[in-house]
Amino acid sequence: MIVENISCGRDDVLQETTDLVDRGYRLMNMFADEGGGQWMNILLRRRDRVVRLSYMPGEQAVPLSDDIPAAMPYERLVAEMSGIAFTDGGREPLVYRRSGDGYPLQKGPYDGSTAVPVPIPPNRSVGDDVFEIPVGPVHAGIIEPGHFRFSVAGETVIELNPWLGYTHRGVERLMEGHLPSDRIHLIGRVSGDTCVSNSVAYSEIAESGSKVPHRARVLRTVLLEMERLYNHIGSIAGICTDTAFTVASSMGNGMLEKVLRSNRELTGHRFLMDHVVPGGIRRDIGDDTLRRLDDFLIGLKFEVEELYDLMDNPGLVDRMETTGTLSQERALMIGAVGPVARASGIRSDVREEAPYETYGELGFVVQVRDPGDVLSRTMVRFGEITESISMIHQCIQSIQPGEVRVRPVVDDGFHCSVVEAPRGELVHSAIVKNGRIWRYSIRDPSFPNWFGMCHAVPGNVVPDFPLINKSFNLSYSGNDL
């Protein structure tokens, strides 16, 4: 990954950004930091080249969202977190959704106790037969909290507005002021089912000045793919549950349990928590254990095929086809990432574009499908399960004995790492000053994809929403931070 820092004037930033976008760069993150005044940082990526464009907004920042629609969520977040004003007016709050004294990500003491919640605004769709259905934040079943507002005409959804932020914990602020290698436990808990990906992205920053042993890198790749495996299997089982296809659902959940048990055998934790640390991995995984994993995965592969055959059922396919279609054009517009983007025909996979750990040494096929409906997202996941099993097999075949942990070293300055989490491109960026974290920013793949879902749902009927939601399989806590 090659990071290029560009500073520019306030007047040039729009031109610079649109030039980069025209050259094939995609907006990855936007965040503000303080250093002799507020700085705006715009992160863009094309394959393995990352550009950090920074400028001082002064009184008011330049809005990019008119030319690059994908920038809108970031602008809303920056406005409410860091108190950046934009020349074209205010921004609706997105995650923290509180107003009051100060802004949580500005330096200096912050007391949030006097802040008051911003009330949920009514939907924009109004009309004689338009009804608004509020759902959540407490849902049936064990899922995370989030409020949804549907505007419906009969059963057809006209507009969907998610109102998230119920799991906002102030992770970015909690990172500040600590030694870069000290916060692995916090990072592992940003989003429970993305633990390995977050830990790897964080570790790549915290160990950027040291050489991590090859065996540790191979084992990290194994853990990353195990995480993708259990996420994708859980997601497919969820699709079956939501369509009341009970036998396949039980089978999928049974497979999920087996993978989680195998996770525990590997690392002592069913969700692989805290095994990846800056400088390598916490404890070596024995060759016997790896061989047993390999044997288990061969059996799993047959079970996945069996599940696939079971799900090749006309009734189920009818439910999934044409449901919740996110067109390629829309997906590009909102900057969708991960399996969601790949199901809409966009070939974007960090593992291929900017290989990290040992992905450069592995052979795999990026799973791209059309046309962005529930079926294509499920097919992408099925394809990736097979690829993951093959990648883990390649890793286990090629692993060499050696060290697994070194002392992490990190230099001052700006660092950035990008990882393909199960849900897509996960971006961590840090500014280190005097050996301590000055500013840390996380961009979870769910963040842009939530907006993708808002484009995929309208036009579908209300009973299909849970299915569409499941096929996007987005994280609330990763989004809310």
Binding string to other proteins for residues 319 to 338, with x set by CB under 8 A, is what? x-------------------
Applying CB under 8 A, does 126 fall inside the site for other proteins? no
Applying CB under 8 A, does 120 fall inside the site for other proteins? no
- Given 122, 250, 283, 411, the residue binding other proteins (CB under 8 A): 250
Applying CB under 8 A, does 153 fall inside the site for other proteins? no
CB 443 within 8 A of CB 312: no
Residue 135 or 332 with smaller CB distance to other proteins: 135
Binding string to other proteins for residues 265 to 304, with x set by CB under 8 A, is what? ----------------------------------------
Cα–Cα distance for residue pair 224/174, rounded to 1 Å = 25
Residue 35 or 254 with smaller CB distance to other proteins: 254
Residue 160 or 337 with smaller CB distance to other proteins: 160
Binding string to other proteins for residues 210 to 249, with x set by CB under 8 A, is what? ------------------------------x-xxxxxx-x
In Å, the largest CA–CA distance within the chain is 70
Applying CB under 8 A, does 464 fall inside the site for other proteins? yes
Applying CB under 8 A, does 91 fall inside the site for other proteins? no
- Given 27, 218, 273, 316, the residue binding other proteins (CB under 8 A): 316
CB 130 within 8 A of CB 152: yes
Applying CB under 8 A, does 160 fall inside the site for other proteins? no
CB 171 within 8 A of CB 442: yes
DSSP H or E segment with residue 16:
helix 13-22
Applying CB under 8 A, does 130 fall inside the site for other proteins? no
- Residue 148 Ramachandran class (φ > 0 left, ψ -120 to 50 alpha, else beta): beta
Q: Pairing state of beta strands 85-86 and 60-61?
A: parallel
Applying CB under 8 A, does 318 fall inside the site for other proteins? yes
Site residues (CB under 8 A) for other proteins, limited to 344-363: none
Residue 130 or 333 with smaller CB distance to other proteins: 130
Applying CB under 8 A, does 315 fall inside the site for other proteins? yes
Burial of 288 (0-12, 13-18, 19+ CB in 10 A): exposed
CB 253 within 8 A of CB 247: no
DSSP H or E segment with residue 385:
helix 374-398
Q: In angstroms, what is the minimal distance from the CB of 127 to other proteins?
A: 17
Cα–Cα distance for residue pair 118/254, rounded to 1 Å = 42
For CA atoms 135, 138, 141, 143, the dihedral sign is positive
Structure tokens at 223: 């853990």
Q: In angstroms, what is the minimal distance from the CB of 354 to other proteins?
A: 38
The b/e string for 421-443 (b: 16+ C-beta within 10 A; e otherwise) is bbbbbbbbbbbbeeeebbbbbbb
Q: Which residues contact other proteins by CB under 8 A?
A: 131, 133-135, 140-141, 155, 240, 242-247, 249-251, 254, 313, 315-316, 318-319, 461-466
